[in-house]
Amino acid sequence: MRKSLLTGLVLSLLMGANVNALTYFVSSNGATVNSAALDVGVNYTIEVSGQWSFHYNKWFADAEYFQNVTMDWNNATEDYPSDVPQNLELLVDGQDVDWLGTTDGVNFADDIFSPTHVYRTYVTGTGSAVQFQIHDTFYGDNSGSLQVDVTKTPGDAVPEPATIFLVFAGLAGMAGFSRNKIKK
Ligand SMILES: [Ca+2]
Ligand SMILES: [Ca+2]
Ligand SMILES: [Ca+2]
């Protein structure tokens, strides 16, 4: 039992060191989704696409904007109310994100509504997973999900020796842990 647990931990560590491109689907039912562990010091692009609906398919929202009173995207609203910026959007690690929008699919910038509903943000890996969740005050009338793609940002150098060292440090730590448990 302990051996299989240890094997699982080792495997997840090794797999975490090889995150290149991962796709997740985050439901509008409020469930949280954890990514694989992101490599320490490596820069990742998080790209979100799609839209989900609230109030029984009357209104739609994407990662950052949502439809307001006219029930169409011509009246896309970024933050409402302004003091609750996390309302109706995709949170990362429980926090509101200034999702970068695009009108040409190439350049991404803050405070831009994406007609294609594609948004990006950038994070640096810490060795841990990042968590995604669609935030709402009432989930019972929602449907749909957002697609989240996590990829290594092109052109960034990968600190392989540091990553390998961390994996071995983790293995050594676990070996010490299991030895101590056996002694008791
Ligand atoms: Ca928003
Ligand atoms: Ca936001
Ligand atoms: Ca709702």
pLDDT tens-digit readout, 41-84? 999 999 999 999 999 999 999 999 999 888 899 989 999 888 89
Domain containing residue 138: 19-158
Taking the centre of ligand 2 as the mean of its atom positions, its distance from the CA of residue 128, in whole angstroms, is 23
The residue with tokens 């996390």 is 86
Tell me the chain's radius of gyration from C-alpha atoms. 20
> How remote is the CA of residue 32 from the centroid of ligand 1, in Å?
18
Find all residues with CB under 8 Å of 144, minimum gap 6, and list them: 27, 28, 50, 51, 52, 53
In a domain, 5, yes or no: no
- Of the candidates 57, 39, 58, 23, the one whose C-alpha atom is nearest the C-alpha of residue 146 is 23
Query: What percent of the chain is modeled with pLDDT above 70?
Result: 74
Residue 81 Cα to ligand 3 middle (Å): 15
Pairing of strands 145-152, 21-27: antiparallel
Q: Determine the distance separating the centroid of ligand 1 and the alpha carbon of 111, expressed in angstroms.
A: 9
Tens digit of each residue's pLDDT (9 = 90 or more) over 107-122? 999 999 999 999 999 9
177 domain residue, yes or no: no
**C-alpha of residue 92 to centroid of ligand 3, in Å:** 19
Helix or strand run (H / E) with residue 7: helix 2-16
Q: Which residues contact 171 (CB under 8 A, 6 or more apart)?
A: 10, 13
Asked if residue 170 belongs to a domain, the reply is no
Task: Read off the CATH number of the domain in which 37 is found.
Answer: 2.60.120
Domain presence at residue 164: no
If one counts the domains in the chain, the total is: 1
CA of 82 to the centre of ligand 3 (A): 18
